[in-house]
Amino acid sequence: MSTRDVYPVEIARLFPPQGQWTEEDYFALPDSMQIIELSDGEIVMPAPPVLHHQKIIMKLGFALDAFVRKGDLGTVYLAPVAVRLWKGKIREPDILFVRKEHEDRIHETRIEGAPDWVAEVISPGTRHTDEVKKMAEYARAGVPEYWLLDPKKHTIRVCHLEGEVYSLTATYQPGQMARSVTISGFEVSVGEVLSK
């Protein structure tokens, strides 16, 4: 085994095994543009997204950012940005929005608590996580609105929080405008956002 092969293995030994990661371990990781999440003591690193995925994030994120800036409503972030939903549960939504009145949730290294709006672009490897795990987690944390953008099905699902679970407001398709429930007046063309 060459030195080149040994080096990553030795670095990995400096960190805890899966299932034993703490927030302290997570925040000790070096800065990275890779999405890295902490869930139930495990580090989750989805495969880097395809370029179309990134393009969708940029289109929706920039549209939301322009709308939010115009109305002086708060701040929009694109991944990777750590969101501490609760102790031991750190996710990095593709896009998130924090209202001006909740700016105290914005810290140097993370968002502390629920953002006011999140969106995830579904990739083949993240479908179950986005549609099941993150949906339950964002609801538990109290995120008022969750958008699921599905490039494969060419849809945008808008869900809003009712009590402790999400209710599907609508499933929008190309030719329609996807409308926010909680950000009054914000809407985007599904076809434009999902187009290649």
Residue range 118-153, pLDDT digits in tens: 999 999 889 999 999 999 999 999 999 999 999 999
- Classify residue 184: in a domain, yes or no: yes
Distance between CA atoms of 112 and 102, rounded to whole angstroms? 10
CATH number at 186 reads 3.90.1570.10
- Classify residue 132: in a domain, yes or no: yes
- Classify residue 133: in a domain, yes or no: yes
Number of domains in the chain: 1
19-32 per-position pLDDT tens digit: 888 888 888 887 77
- Classify residue 38: in a domain, yes or no: no
Neighbours of 120 (CB within 10 A): 26
Q: Examine the pLDDT at 4 and tell me if it is beyond 50.
A: no
- Classify residue 28: in a domain, yes or no: no
64-86 per-position pLDDT tens digit: 999 999 999 999 999 999 999 99
Q: Examine the pLDDT at 92 and tell me if it is beyond 60.
A: yes
**Residue 130 is part of which domain span?**
47-194
Phi, psi of 104 (to 5 degrees): -65, -10
